[in-house]
Amino acid sequence: MSTIDQCQRNFHFRGRSFIAFALSPEPPIADWLVALGEWAAKSPGFFLGRPVVLDLMAVTLSEHAIGHLIDQLAQRGIRIMGLTGVDPAMTSEKLPPVLSGGWASEKAIGVESPTSGAPAQKEPASLLLDEPVRSGQSVHFPAGDVTILGSVASGAEIVAGGSIHIYGTLRGTAMAGSFGDERARIFCSRNEAELLAINGYYQTAEDMAAELRSKPAQAWLESTSLMIATLV
Amino acid sequence: MAKVVVITSGKGGVGKTTSTAALGAALAQSGQKVVVVDFDVGLRNLDLLMGAERRVVYDLVNVTQGLAKLPQALIRDKRLENLHLLPASQTRDKDALTEEGVAQVITELRSWFDWVICDSPAGIERGATLAMRFADTALVITNPEVSSVRDSDRIIGLLDSKTKKAEDGERIEKHLLITRFDPARSATGEMLSIDDVLEILATPLLGIVPESQEVLRASNLGTPVTLSNPASAAARAYMAAAQRLMGEDVPMTIPSDKKSLFDKLFGRRAA
Ligand SMILES: Nc1ncnc2c1ncn2[C@@H]1O[C@H](COP(=O)(O)OP(=O)(O)O)[C@@H](O)[C@H]1O
Ligand SMILES: [Mg+2]
């Protein structure tokens, strides 16, 4: 048979999503780079091993200028894996690819600047919300588990470093173990989810079997497969 | 104490302006001093529904910019002397409104009226956030249909974060007004049921306004439906909602224009 067929058998693509950090330069770029440099100096290693995309929405740059900006960032230890907010026609193969389909999270992830002196107080790594999470809202809690007493609306997202527990209906997106914890789980009293993900492995509503919908459910990871089962 | 109410929804065409006019009139018919304020700068409509379009001289933007005094811009309703309209500008865009300007106007209106009812533009941008900014109470207008419900959910989130009350750590009071409800289509599953909407939005219900031809007729007449046809189902629904807003305990029903069994029996006899 054809060689193309061969290739198809050899490659396996698995859906895997990462939370990418979008850097959004603002004009004047020189000032922005200075501010970024100062900030990065206070949080060394923040970008290490994290996917970073460059969002060029707020600026108009030539292909050459984009390349220059990426070099400048590289000098500051930030490697760019993709571009957004730019017309693909404005870029070339030398630049990182233009990504589509990303969505912005409303709350920026808080970065605490390291404090010197007294040892940091150890906070319990869980977040409890006693209000419904509304469409368009996003809850980011890299530090641990998130428990929600109400429902999570269609168009809302929860991103947790640990597990996610939803006592209402999950109609939006839940991403547990988003920073590498493959043992994290998702529980909800009613599964109407748009997307469930653990450590980047996901299933969309369309992937899910009908008998798993509208029921109490949990999701967990078995190697690289996201598993979902109803809870009785 | 004056109450500032924002009528909001996210989605357009769900009945915000219709509800502003009807509730404003209903409250005024109950003896309250009411002003309805059009925040839909550039797309004003409320003046038409109130039948005041030919009497607009100054508008909200003129007042916030200090070009006119508030009493010059307020239009008194021809039918109800305790009902007033503060129209929007049709020629400016939404950026013409500033937060300080709006704050000042609302403060002044609070001192003169029992109810300040703000008709919000659609969307979640500046115009809509300014309309809700100084509200004590929000009325979220929802049609029993998925996209409207989702947009309402989005707006409820904004009410809890972008209003002055929320920023001050207080709670903005929120109610749901379901409009354009069609019992037949809800029964066949073509429309969401009231229970579905309430379950998704988790917000207390202020009233249910049925889909009604009388609403269209009222808007063509330039008369709020509670005045044009007080006996109609839509008017009764708005009347009941206004009473609940005033704190009265009115049982929740879905008014209907269909004839009751009683009407049918006697109707047949008369025919
Ligand atoms: N209960 C109702 N029954 C029938 N038509 C309605 C009803 N409520 C609103 N409408 C119609 O829906 C359209 C949009 O209403 P409008 O109040 O202008 O919405 P919005 O201000 O939210 O954009 C108008 O044509 C109006 O007459
Ligand atoms: Mg309107």
Dist. CA B170 → ligand 2 center (Å): 28
CB-based contact B191:B185 (threshold 8 Å): yes
Q: How far is the CA of B49 from the centre of ligand 2 (A)?
A: 10
The answer, yes or no, to whether residue A118 has pLDDT greater than 50, is no
Give residues with Cβ within 8 angstroms of A121, minimum separation 6.
none
Query: pLDDT at position A37, please?
Result: 76
Give the pLDDT mean for B6-27. Answer: 97
pLDDT of B167-181, one tens digit each? 999 999 999 999 999
Chain A: closest CA distance from residue B150 (Å): 7
Q: Give domain status of residue A55, yes or no.
A: yes
Biggest CA-to-CA distance, chain B: 64
Verify that A133 and A213 share a domain, yes or no: yes
Residue A115: what pLDDT? 36
Is there a domain that residue A15 lies in?
no
Q: How many helices (H) and strands (E) does chain B have?
A: 14, 8
Q: State the CATH number of the domain containing residue A82.
A: 3.30.70.260
**Residue A6 above 90 pLDDT?**
no
- Does residue A222 form part of some domain? yes
Q: Is residue A203 part of a domain?
A: yes
Which of the two residues, B138 and B56, has the higher pLDDT score?
A: B138
Establish if A191 touches chain B: CB-CB under 8 angstroms.
no
- A171 CB neighbours in chain B (<8 A) are 200
B204 Cβ contact list (under 8 Å, min separation 6): B174, B175, B176
Residue A27 lies in a domain: yes
* Ligand 2 center from residue B127 Cα (angstroms): 12
Which structural domain, as residue segments, surrounds residue A45? Answer: 21-90
Say whether both A68 and A148 belong to one domain. Answer: no
pLDDT per position as a tens digit, B225-246: 999 999 999 999 999 999 999 9
Flag whether pLDDT at A14 surpasses 90.
no
Distances A173 to A138, B208, B217 between C-alpha atoms, Å: 9, 31, 43
Mean pLDDT over all residues of chain A? Answer: 80
pLDDT over threshold 90, residue A214: yes
pLDDT given at position A94: 83
Q: Is residue A194 part of a domain?
A: yes
Measured in Å, residue B189 CA sits from the centre of ligand 2 at 28
Ligand 1: nearest atom to the Cα of B216: 27
Contact A133, A158 (CB under 8 A): yes
B170 touches chain A (CB under 8 A): no
Buried b (16+ CB within 10 A) or exposed e, B164-180: bbeeeeeebebbbbbbb
Contacts 24+ apart (CB under 8 A), A120-126: A125/A161, A125/A162, A126/A162
- The ipTM (two decimal places) reads 0.72
Q: How far is A129 from chain B (nearest CA, A)?
A: 14
According to DSSP, the β-strands at B173-181 and B75-76 are unpaired
Question: A150 and B202 in contact by Cβ < 8 A?
Answer: yes
Share of chain A above pLDDT 90, in %: 38
Name which of A135, A192, A143 is nearest A163 in CA terms.
A143
Model confidence at B24, pLDDT cuts 50, 70, 90, reads very high
Say whether both A139 and A84 belong to one domain: no
Does residue B84's CB lie within 6 angstroms of at least one atom of ligand 1? no
Residue A46 domain-assigned (yes or no) = yes
Percent helix, strand and coil across chain A, each rounded to 5? Answer: 20, 30, 50
B12 lines ligand 1 (CB under 6 A): yes
Q: Are strands A217-222 and A195-198 parallel, antiparallel or unpaired?
A: unpaired
Domain-embedded: residue A52: yes
Q: What is the CATH number of the domain that holds A186?
A: 2.160.20.70
Q: Tell whether B147 is within 8 A of chain A (Cβ).
A: no
Between strands B34-38 and B173-181, the pairing is: unpaired
Contacts of A136 in chain B (CB under 8 A): 124, 153-154, 157-158
- How many angstroms separate the CA atoms of B196 and B201, rounded? 9
Q: Is A136 on the interface with B (CB under 8 A)?
A: yes
Domain boundary among A39, A63, A90: A90
Q: How far apart are CA A92 and CA B231, in angstroms?
A: 68
Confidence band for B90, pLDDT divided at 50, 70 and 90 = confident
Better-scored residue on pLDDT, B234 or A15: B234
Cross-chain Cβ contact A135/B150 below 8 Å = yes
Q: How many domains does chain A have?
A: 2
Q: Judge if pTM exceeds 0.80.
A: no
Distance from CA of B74 to the nearest CA of A (A): 37
On the question of a cis peptide bond just before residue B224, with omega within 30 degrees of 0, the verdict is: no
Same domain, A134 and A178: yes
- Which atom of ligand 1 is least distant from the CA of B119? 21
Q: How far apart are CA B27 and CA B245, in angstroms?
A: 9
Residues A52 and A135 reside in one and the same domain: no
Listed residue (B108, B115, B98) closest to B28, CA to CA:
B115
Contact predicate A162/A187, CB 8 Å: no
User: Ligand 1: which of B215, B220, B228, B238 to mutate, most ligand atoms within 8 Å of CB?
Assistant: B215
Listed ranges A177-181, A197-201, B73-77, B188-192; the one with the highest mean pLDDT:
B73-77
Cβ distance A151 to B200 less than 8 Å, yes or no, reads yes
The per-residue pLDDT for A103 is 52
Which neighbouring-strand residues pair with A158?
A: A139, A174
- Is residue A84 domain-shared with residue A137, that is, in the same domain? no
Percent over 70 (pLDDT), chain A: 75
| Contact status, residue B169 vs residue B122, Cβ threshold 8 Å | no
Ligand with the closest atom to the CA of B225: 1
